[in-house]
Structure 1
């Protein structure tokens, strides 16, 4: 059975419950790694292992987010977005609760991997539904608003996590994550629309392979996906490695570490707010070009500061904050343009984009860790600057080759 869903151009109360429930789930998945990061030194201490396991937690989480991307998008094209999404949220609730009983670092990393699978559902199913459920201008405003709410997690997560580990065992955090996701599950069950146009068709592995050949053979889709990945890689590498950089090697307390993250994520939120304000007033490409100077300039400032004095943090944080502002400007527009760069079902395209970006994140974070361990903060920051340059080149080609009719 094929269905046609008309995108909404205005919001009603029922329309609001869906994106708010989705972003609550996204918030829960974000805070599940941002809040635990200040406690990771305590986690590895409790399990009697070295600090090299600190960033492995986030790497496992991201690898989980890559594992089922290839299947969930096409599956939601065929079976429907709603049932696939609801199963994903229920999986996250279950694995968070199971973390309360882990007894070793290996079991903990396994749970982190399983929790990370939830990221597959957000990108391949949830975001695709947002883009299909709302018209272009409204979807950009919606994505910017959702990003701001979700970014409360990395903004408050490090501070909240630092405070939490002084008040309760770190395992009890996962009970909080499960509760938030359970509330999101209720809201999605009540309000998530079904936008899959191919819903009811028989799932076919041959069709799956054909669709992926079309998507992965589309150079613009590949280029847009890589541009998305390189634009966010410096931020994720910082989130993963900053406990070691700032606390273990920099001597900061968990509280000071949390405060050092605040300007970075506040800047990211400001960038998203500006995007929401100008959406509909300028072309979709305009914010992407506006983001070039803060992204490149911020990463260059952070790299120069780290090379000159690897043990200072003020200018590094200032540079990353400027970069984060630019990233807030570009994310929603670049994602939408990439999603619609292929005519294949949006669940499949979203899955391909997710697989490419998360694979880049996972490999990129591990490479950033090795560069920091062997080359210090200077090598780490130069690596982030290189990611910014690669993003600029990829995005420039992507926009220059955009068909006029799209």
Structure 2
């Protein structure tokens, strides 16, 4: 068994958390080909992303509280096993309807990796150290979305779109073996919670009553929705509208991930020096600048790959800074129910992102405008949530230390 505080455990948790981006990013270059092969339109194929996020969101409401009662490890094992089976169902899907069912089940199982990976970090490390560890975990797992579209494009070229889901099933099989054989249980028995619905709802009410939790969650959800809007619409915008080859699309996606990777490194390096809220201020400003730049270029009629990819790199630099810090900020005050906090955090994040992604698919007009305007709005919403909820709360706490926290 691994030691809980060892670097190998951090890498293992990062690999489990990477299931989310792998299951969304690897098949992005194949989406136009899937629409053609299954005889459907872009809106139905884009629905596989939104439905994945919806399943992911619903699963998080269950797996976090259940893991607070029974431990992280057994819930992760069950979830990854379901992800494996659902990935095979996606690979064998004869129609878009079966693919939608497979994607929902894939999300329902795959949610256990990211949700409980975050909760395990909070179990093992203190509230301040968790932010630094989550930043470095994000840097490690950034390799997944960087490589995933390139690998997906190669699989599409040589083996067809079905091979993407076969590879995801193989990845899940490896992670399942690691969970069963070498990963110890991170949640001590003394901190187990009741699984009674009344206790779960009481935890959720407690969390939703915390201005800090709501503020950090909305900042994260808005930034993540901008990222998900890009995932949902970029292949149709870049490949179909702007004529980018699938292999080049995969290469351009690595530039997007490079922005995210740089942001996570900044987040980890300056976590102690600048503090959580000052880092979040910088991250939300970058999201707002990148998003509004893309929206302005699209509104002015500048439709070119650089006008989409360049501003989104800036947006993703901000997202890389925000993600680990907002996660740590939301979980920090709640060690007694870290699983429930991680669940509710992820549920709100994914639900908002699924709605935004669905709207991008519904209102896609064949150009870059819908995608760019959506990302611009999400950048501004992230900044507004920080200024009105998180930052104002911090200033209030400085003025009145004895007041509400």
User: Are the counterparts in 2 of residues 90 and 185 from structure 1 also a CA contact under 8 Å?
Assistant: yes
> How much does 1:281 deviate?
2.8
For structure 2, list consecutive stretches of 5 or more residues without a partner in the other structure. Answer: none
1:193-241 CA deviation, whole Å, 9 max, x = no partner? 3325655665312212222222223333223212110012111101111
Structure 1 partner of 2:296: 304
Alignment of 1:335-374 (within 5 A): 335-342=327-334, 345-373=337-365
1:59-81 CA deviation, whole Å, 9 max, x = no partner? 11111101222222111111112
Is residue 2:34 matched to residue 1:43? yes
Structure 1 partner of 2:287: 295
Whole-angstrom CA distance in 2 between matches of 1:103 and 1:170: 12
User: Are the counterparts in 2 of residues 21 and 185 from structure 1 also a CA contact under 8 Å?
Assistant: no
Residue of 178, 184, 191 corresponding to 2:183: 191
Is residue 2:302 matched to residue 1:282? no
Stretch moving more, 216-225 or 268-277 = 216-225
Alignment of 1:3-402 (within 5 A): 15-189=6-180, 190-196=182-188, 203-342=195-334, 345-373=337-365, 376-396=367-387, 397-402=389-394
User: Are the counterparts in 1 of residues 138 and 264 from structure 2 also a CA contact under 8 Å?
Assistant: yes
User: Are the counterparts in 2 of residues 79 and 199 from structure 1 also a CA contact under 8 Å?
Assistant: no
Whole-angstrom CA distance in 1 between matches of 2:195 and 2:286: 45
For structure 1, list consecutive stretches of 5 or more residues without a partner in the other structure. Answer: 1-10
User: Are the counterparts in 1 of residues 233 and 371 from structure 2 also a CA contact under 8 Å?
Assistant: no
Cα distance change, pair 97–265 in 1 and its aligned pair in 2 (3 A): same
Stretch moving more, 354-363 or 40-49 = 40-49
> How much does 1:137 deviate?
4.6
> How much does 1:278 deviate?
1.9
Query: How many residues of Structure 1 are paired with residues of Structure 2 in the alignment?
Result: 395
TM-score (normalised: structure 2): 0.90
TM-score (normalised: structure 1): 0.90
> How much does 1:114 deviate?
0.7
Whole-angstrom CA distance in 1 between matches of 2:7 and 2:336: 28
Whole-angstrom CA distance in 2 between matches of 1:288 and 1:179: 37
Stretch moving more, 329-338 or 93-102 = 93-102
Whole-angstrom CA distance in 2 between matches of 1:42 and 1:80: 41
Whole-angstrom CA distance in 1 between matches of 2:189 and 2:211: 25
Whole-angstrom CA distance in 1 between matches of 2:371 and 2:161: 29
User: Are the counterparts in 2 of residues 77 and 346 from structure 1 also a CA contact under 8 Å?
Assistant: yes
User: Are the counterparts in 1 of residues 294 and 372 from structure 2 also a CA contact under 8 Å?
Assistant: yes
Whole-angstrom CA distance in 2 between matches of 1:313 and 1:281: 37
User: Are the counterparts in 2 of residues 18 and 187 from structure 1 also a CA contact under 8 Å?
Assistant: no
